[in-house]
Structure 1
Amino acid sequence: MGNWWRTKAGQWGSKGILAAVLATGVLQLPAVTAEAAGTSMDQIRVGLFLDLGSTYKSTTPVVTLSSGQSWSAGVSASSGAPALVSFGANETAKFSVDGFRVKVLSTSDAKTAADAYKKLNATADKPVIFAASTGAGTVYQVYTGMYASLQAANDAAARTAKTAAGQLNGQTPVVTGGNHLSAGTYASEAEAAAAAQQIQAAGADAFVAVQPGGDGGGRYAVWVGEAADASGLAAVRSAVSAKLPAATLSEVDASQPALIIRSDAGSSPGSTAAVKHIVVSGTNAKGWITSSGDQLKVAERSGRTYRGGMEISMVNGQLALVNELPFEQYLYAVVGGEVPSSWPEESLKAQAVAARSYAAFQISSSNNKFKVADVVDTTLSQVYNGVASEAPSVIGAVDATEGEVLLQNGNVVEAVFSSNAGGASADPTEVWNSGGAAFGTVESKEDVAAQNGAKTWYHVLLSNGITGYVREDNVKELGTATAAGLAKVTVTAKNTNVRPLPLIQSNVEPAAQMNPGDTAVVLEQVKESGTYDWVRGPYTSAELVATLKGKTSTAAPSTISTLEVTKRGPSGRAIQIKANGQILDVKYPDMFRSALNGLPSTLFDIVPTGSYTVLSANGTTTKVSGTSDTSVISASGTSSIAGKGTIVMNGDSKARRIEAGEAFLFVGRGNGHGLGLSQWGAKGMADAGYGYQDILKHYYQNVTIVKE
């Protein structure tokens, strides 16, 4: 689209190479030496589910695992993690940790359990149904949770009593926990299961637990009760002793790791859906799951399959799932998840080195951001979607650069990257108010590669005053024009959608529809909104006030009548914005993206659609508002045109409609923070014949590429 709409367009991409001369690393994290990185790059730990509060939060009470090959579960110990429970190829099992839950009800009626499950599943108290054999039949036990604290579990018990009131039949939901009694050890799982069944028949909860044995195998025990605290455990002992006076009960040492083996009836008790449900028990216990095929599927992560093993533990009272695998194999999925595998080999190699450096920095830095994990599987670290993202071309690029990282002054560079720099990479001061000597604004003209093959869209004005965009393959030019010289078009198919933005958004209603024979005036032609060029909005004052809430240190105006970029950084990115003359004081400049309704980048101009100042050829300005008569303003004068609102036109015959009322249109370039490697820029440079080292040294200044 034309630069006329970008009042600061001349600053974008015009600075050339501008290195930031700052001594600290990006975000001012501690330096990571090459030696430190080299000792840490054999394995990597990726957090899939983890509750770290504001740092990272992705939780689930249960994870469902399977593998195409035989697989097993054990608990981590100083001597390793011998298999304690084995599973066949394609067998599914569920896993959780031994914490606070709510036992909502027990019933021998499968329908009652299923009805309770259905009601609870519609709430935040997610249910699970355990099936226990009593000899006389099966009892279905409906639980919810887990919960991070005893108080949270008590609150949940009160909620579930109301939710499942129709299925309780006089029962009261009770809080359970990780305190157990042992009724003895047995030579086999079958013997332990038979003993547990006898205790269940007497009306007490009992289940098989397996602990590591001294011979590297498992030692089976029957555990009784699941109390939330010591007083609850004493009550369990008293009740069981009264019914089974011959039973010998001892308190289980909570520090000893074990796997509790239960039966999970799924959402359809009584069906064939029952699977083993393994509960990891013990203070600081870590369950360890591996497959002979070295691949495990996680149902709760969209059914993705991952290389390596899975560790299950409890962090902050919630289940934590960490995927541990060889570092280089992790990169197979990361590179394939970050960029298309069809891209040129040299761009894939550049991405591999950048991703390796970024991960190595996180592994070796002392901030321990993700506690039990080195990285997480989202863009907080790098996109990691498992083996589905792998491809031969990606694996080849990772293998060809094996061990290579970016160094500066002997330290590993935190080699951040983004999708598209929009023609100029960002300076650190435009992103996080901090910087590093490896980063600075450089020209990134090859970012335009993102537009190759993109459709052209016609920005049109309909006879009823509505404006929108129609894609080129649906447009037929009529060869006629308005008095102001604007072309007229029609469409080639019935019910052609006129889109509010120049892209197809399936979840957004079209602005209008056209049929063959309907005519519209062409205001301008633009490329499809993508990662290079984009348009967002127009957003009303109310929409922007809502999205700004909580993102500025002082309250934003209750109504926004003016919004303008008042200061830009070296690459042209917005670093200061005023609303009604008041500075919007966000924590760091890149936060403007989320504060202004999720903009792709901060390399933008703001076009107020309620009013506009037009500069004429002789230097005079004219203030045009949406309440003005319908007209076209050009350097040569004013011409009338049918329709509502005001049309502002420049000397290049590009026009824009001004709506009545205040609203704000954002027109920009780029996608992401823009710091470091531009992925589309790397693709464009590779297309032009540049090698991966040339690409990396363009986007990261004063660096060397070293094989560790």
Structure 2
Amino acid sequence: MLLLWMRTTVGVLMAGLTLGGTAALATELRVGIQQSAKTLRVGVAGAAVVTDGAGRSLGTLPPMLGFTAQVQGGQVSLHTFRGRDLWVRPMNNSFVFISDDWHRGRLRLVARGDGLLAVNHVPLEEYLYSVVGSEMYPYWPLEALKAQAVAARSFVLFRLRRPADPDFDVGRTVTWQAYKGYSRESDSTREAVSATSGQVVTHRGQIIEAVYHAASGGHTENVEDIWSAPRPYLRGVPDFDQEAPVYSWQKTFTQTELSRLLPGVGQVRSLTPVRTTPQGRVIQMQVTGTAGNKTFTGGELRRLLELRSTLFQVTPNRGDIASANLVNAPNGGFEFQGRGFGHGLGMSQWGAFGLAQRGYNYQQILQYYYQGTEITPAR
């Protein structure tokens, strides 16, 4: 047992330990916080009941102390409790510490092999308090924060149709949407969620897959050019993201660095765009090296090279003007000159900021980025 976390505890105590805000929707989400942890820090702000998977009470977990959860002999071990499936249920609606932050709701711990699955069961609206603050700056215009709240609510409700795992609906990372716990909440994020409580983006009466990204670099994309078949509400539109610090960017690689990062081509000799979207995002690029040719998707290049987006051109790193169709290996390496951050589909977060600055309300922002949609109460 360890005495806990004065740094994070103080913030919770100053804010008060009970939950507030408007009544949440009945939907409860299962958010995967950790999926194969060897150990996990767990604690509670107020007393909590620990139960097994069948709901039988095993005892209470004392407040303001830190405990290590781990798998031992195929069972979860937490304080004096053992079981394949343990629940930590805070009393009086207080908070539970999971891994690296306080969270609302309850905690389920499941033994999976020699690893630990940690799932935060949390009401939808309270989950959104954190998501909005994890995805946008809390000091941005309220209308932008409201747009983020409605988009995030729509996105997660759409994803409930295809849960990520039998034991959780979504994860906590930007693969789904960022959820970083209580520390990312603020008065403004709670206000944005409460002011739009239960509202979703719909097309012909159905909740849409309200994908979003940080910044498009000037123009969003049609979904069929990036991912899948056309969807009438995911159409490319001019963006208002010019104030984004990621509106334009560059990243330089030496020939040796690029050759190490791109497998299967040997020493990189040249890069040739094969397919791009109408806006210039790379769909496919051929890389020629001493071991032969290999075609990479834009997404593969973004992941392997840790680029901010697939909207880029490659030039020699020596100030020359490169061919639009072929970039040969220069002595100074390769410079990737790009724009935007993310996939470029749906709502641009920096664009929402720009539109809010221009006086748009959240409904107008959402209907600009999701064409032909309505903002309606969730059913």
Q: Indicate whether the TM-score tops 0.5.
A: yes
Q: Shift of the alpha carbon at 1:286?
A: 4.2
Q: Secondary structure at the match of 1:292?
A: helix
Residues 419, 678 of structure 1: 8 Å contact kept: yes
Q: Distance in 2 between matches of 1:405 and 1:397?
A: 13
Q: Shift of the alpha carbon at 1:698?
A: 1.1
Larger radius of gyration: 1
Q: Distance in 1 between matches of 2:322 and 2:104?
A: 59
1:570 equivalent in alignment to 2:317: no
Relative distance call for 1:388 and 1:535 in structure 2 (3 A) is same
Q: Tell me the equivalent position of 1:536.
A: 251
Q: Shift of the alpha carbon at 1:592?
A: 2.7
Amino acid in the other structure paired with 1:294: S
Matches for 1:33-182 after TM superposition, within 5 Å = 42-50=27-35, 59-77=36-54, 81-100=55-74
Q: Tell me the equivalent position of 1:315.
A: 112
Q: Tell me the equivalent position of 1:427.
A: 222
Residue deviations 1:315-346, cap 9 Å, x none?
35532110001110000000000000000011
1:545 equivalent in alignment to 2:255: no
Q: Shift of the alpha carbon at 1:614?
A: 8.0
Relative distance call for 1:562 and 1:66 in structure 2 (3 A) is same
Q: Distance in 2 between matches of 1:583 and 1:357?
A: 42
Q: Distance in 1 between matches of 2:338 and 2:66?
A: 48
Q: Distance in 1 between matches of 2:295 and 2:91?
A: 51
Q: Shift of the alpha carbon at 1:702?
A: 2.0
Matches for 1:53-452 after TM superposition, within 5 Å = 59-77=36-54, 81-100=55-74, 276-281=79-84, 285-298=85-98, 301-302=99-100, 304-316=101-113, 318-363=115-160, 365=161, 367-444=162-239, 446-450=240-244
Q: Distance in 1 between matches of 2:32 and 2:193?
A: 22
Please list every run of 5 or more consecutive structure 2 residues that lacks an aligned counterpart in the other structure. Answer: 1-24
Relative distance call for 1:669 and 1:87 in structure 2 (3 A) is same
Matches for 1:623-634 after TM superposition, within 5 Å = none
Amino acid in the other structure paired with 1:577: M
Q: Distance in 1 between matches of 2:210 and 2:266?
A: 40
Q: Tell me the equivalent position of 2:5.
A: none
Residues 256, 267 of structure 2: 8 Å contact kept: yes
Amino acid in the other structure paired with 2:340: G
Amino acid in the other structure paired with 2:250: V
Matches for 1:9-20 after TM superposition, within 5 Å = none
Q: Distance in 2 between matches of 1:402 and 1:584?
A: 49
Residue deviations 1:199-218, cap 9 Å, x none?
xxxxxxxxxxxxxxxxxxxx
Q: Distance in 1 between matches of 2:39 and 2:80?
A: 9
Percent identity of equivalent pairs? 30
Q: Shift of the alpha carbon at 1:542?
A: 2.6
Relative distance call for 1:406 and 1:99 in structure 2 (3 A) is farther
After TM superposition, the score normalised by the length of structure 1 is 0.46
Q: Secondary structure at the match of 2:174?
A: coil
Q: Shift of the alpha carbon at 1:404?
A: 0.9
Q: Distance in 1 between matches of 2:319 and 2:145?
A: 46
Q: Tell me the equivalent position of 2:369.
A: 699
Relative distance call for 1:430 and 1:542 in structure 2 (3 A) is farther
Matches for 1:430-509 after TM superposition, within 5 Å = 430-444=225-239, 446-450=240-244
Q: Tell me the equivalent position of 1:666.
A: 336
Please list every run of 5 or more consecutive structure 1 residues that lacks an aligned counterpart in the other structure. Answer: 1-39, 51-58, 101-177, 179-258, 262-275, 451-529, 550-554, 616-624, 627-659
Q: Shift of the alpha carbon at 1:358?
A: 0.7
Residue 355 of structure 2, aligned match among 658, 664, 685: 685
Q: Distance in 1 between matches of 2:40 and 2:58?
A: 18
Residues 448, 532 of structure 1: 8 Å contact kept: yes
Q: Shift of the alpha carbon at 1:584?
A: 4.5
Q: Distance in 2 between matches of 1:424 and 1:402?
A: 30
Q: Distance in 2 between matches of 1:694 and 1:369?
A: 31
Q: Secondary structure at the match of 1:323?
A: strand
Q: Distance in 1 between matches of 2:131 and 2:319?
A: 46
Q: Shift of the alpha carbon at 1:407?
A: 1.4
Q: Distance in 1 between matches of 2:288 and 2:320?
A: 16
Amino acid in the other structure paired with 1:345: L
Residue 316 of structure 2, aligned match among 574, 585, 608: 608
Residue deviations 1:614-637, cap 9 Å, x none?
89xxxxxxxxx99xxxxxxxxxxx
Residues 220, 235 of structure 2: 8 Å contact kept: yes
Residues 286, 311 of structure 1: 8 Å contact kept: yes
Q: Shift of the alpha carbon at 1:594?
A: 1.4
Relative distance call for 1:90 and 1:337 in structure 2 (3 A) is same
Amino acid in the other structure paired with 1:352: A
Residue deviations 1:47-68, cap 9 Å, x none?
0111xxxxxxxx2233222122
Q: Distance in 1 between matches of 2:298 and 2:247?
A: 20
Q: Distance in 2 between matches of 1:325 and 1:449?
A: 35
Relative distance call for 1:443 and 1:73 in structure 2 (3 A) is same
Relative distance call for 1:84 and 1:600 in structure 2 (3 A) is same
Residues 600, 672 of structure 1: 8 Å contact kept: yes
After TM superposition, the score normalised by the length of structure 2 is 0.84
Residues 605, 667 of structure 1: 8 Å contact kept: yes
Q: Shift of the alpha carbon at 1:661?
A: 1.1
Q: Distance in 2 between matches of 1:600 and 1:438?
A: 24
Q: Distance in 2 between matches of 1:575 and 1:83?
A: 54
Residues 215, 348 of structure 2: 8 Å contact kept: yes
Relative distance call for 1:565 and 1:260 in structure 2 (3 A) is closer
Residues 95, 277 of structure 1: 8 Å contact kept: no
Q: Distance in 1 between matches of 2:123 and 2:59?
A: 24
Q: Distance in 1 between matches of 2:349 and 2:295?
A: 30
Relative distance call for 1:294 and 1:68 in structure 2 (3 A) is closer
Q: Distance in 1 between matches of 2:229 and 2:255?
A: 31
Amino acid in the other structure paired with 1:541: Q
Q: Tell me the equivalent position of 1:481.
A: none
Residue deviations 1:388-447, cap 9 Å, x none?
000111101101111111112332211111111111112223432544222121100x20
Residues 370, 376 of structure 1: 8 Å contact kept: no
Q: Shift of the alpha carbon at 1:663?
A: 1.2
Q: Shift of the alpha carbon at 1:95?
A: 2.8
Residue deviations 1:28-74, cap 9 Å, x none?
xxxxxxxxxxxx96210100111xxxxxxxx2233222122122211
Q: Distance in 1 between matches of 2:361 and 2:294?
A: 42
Relative distance call for 1:91 and 1:613 in structure 2 (3 A) is closer
Residues 47, 91 of structure 2: 8 Å contact kept: yes
Q: Distance in 2 between matches of 1:427 and 1:546?
A: 33
Q: Distance in 1 between matches of 2:281 and 2:96?
A: 43
Q: Secondary structure at the match of 1:388?
A: helix
Relative distance call for 1:707 and 1:316 in structure 2 (3 A) is farther
Q: Distance in 1 between matches of 2:130 and 2:105?
A: 12
Q: May I ask how many residue pairs the two structures share in their alignment?
A: 348
Residues 426, 674 of structure 1: 8 Å contact kept: yes
Q: Distance in 2 between matches of 1:575 and 1:356?
A: 30
Amino acid in the other structure paired with 1:545: S
